[in-house]
Amino acid sequence: MAVRTIEVRERVMARNNEIAAEVRSRLAEYGVTAINLVSSPGSGKTTLLERTLAVLGEEMGIAIITGDVQTQNDADRLAAYTPRVVNAVVTNGACHLDALQVLTAVDEIDLNRTRLLFIENVGNLVCPASWDLGEKEMIVLFAVTEGEDKPLKYPKMFQNARRVVMTKIDLLPHVPFDMDRAVANALSVNPALEVIHVSALTGQGLDRWFDFLRAAARPVSTSG
C-alpha cells in the first residue's frame, strides 16, 4: 500500500511541477519576482510581511498570496497594511500550498502593478519543501526561540532555500540559543545559504532585508 501511495504521489508531484513552470513563465512575462516564504508555525512570517508591506508595499508593488490550513487570519492581518487585495488560500487540511492554488491566486492579481510577489506558505518545515510553486526562490525563516538543530532535523527545507532569515533576534538575551551553532548547522546542510538576522519587533536588521528584496526584484539588464 505504501508503494501505491508513492506512485500516486509521484504523478501528483509531476503535475505540480508542470503547473509551477506555468506560474514561473507567467510571472516572468510581467517581470514579477516571487518569493516562497516557509518556516515553522510561529516563526514570524506574517509579522515580517507586515513590516515589509508597511515600508516597501507601495515602492515595490508587493502582492501577497497567503496559505493557511483553515483560517484566513494571516491574510486579514496583512490586509491592514496594504490597499491591495491579499489573496488567501485555505488548504483545507493540507500542510503546504501547491502550484495550482498559486496559479489560481495569480489569476486574481494585477501583475502589471506588481514587482514582488510573496507566497506565504503554510507554517510547516516538512511538506512545503517538496512543492515547487513557481517562485524565483524559497526563503526559510528560523526563529531564535526554536532549537539550533532545526536545519539538521529538516534539511530538505534548508537545502532548497537560498537564504535563511534568523527572526526574533531581540529575544537572544532571554533564550538559550547559540546563534553561531545554529548558523553552522544551516551552512552544514547548505554551504551556499545567505543568512540575514532580523527582529520585526524592534526593526533591527530590517534594512538589510529590504535591500535584499530591492536587489532580488531588480529587472535583469538586457543592454550590453
Q: Which residues bind its own copies (CB under 8 A)?
A: 1-2, 4-5, 8-9, 11-12, 15, 40-43, 46, 68-71, 73-74, 93-95, 122-127, 143, 145-147, 149-150, 152-156, 168, 170-171, 174-176, 201
Pick from 61, 190, 75: nearest CA to 137: 190
Give the other-Cβ count within 10 Å of 118's Cβ: 25
Nearer to its own copies, 111 or 195 (CB): 195
Nearest approach in angstroms of CB 41 to its own copies is 4
Nearest approach in angstroms of CB 222 to its own copies is 39
* Side chain identity at residue 155, one-letter code: P
Nearest approach in angstroms of CB 1 to its own copies is 6
Nearer to its own copies, 33 or 46 (CB): 46
Q: Which runs of E-coded beta strand occur in 46-182?
A: 62-68, 86-90, 116-120, 137-143, 163-167
Strand order in the sheet with 194-197: 86-90, 62-68, 116-120, 33-38, 137-143, 163-167, 194-197
C-alpha separations of 174 from 104, 147, 151, 168, 169 in Å: 43, 14, 22, 11, 10
Nearer to its own copies, 118 or 177 (CB): 177
Give the other-Cβ count within 10 Å of 186's Cβ: 23
Cβ-based burial of 31 (10 A; exposed 0-12, middle 13-18, buried ≥19):
middle
Q: At what angle do helices 45-60 and 206-216 cross, to 10 degrees?
A: 50
Nearer to its own copies, 110 or 204 (CB): 204
Nearest approach in angstroms of CB 216 to its own copies is 26
Distance (Å, rounded) from C-alpha 83 to C-alpha 15? 34
Nearest approach in angstroms of CB 117 to its own copies is 22
Nearer to its own copies, 12 or 28 (CB): 12
Nearest approach in angstroms of CB 89 to its own copies is 13
Nearer to its own copies, 118 or 154 (CB): 154
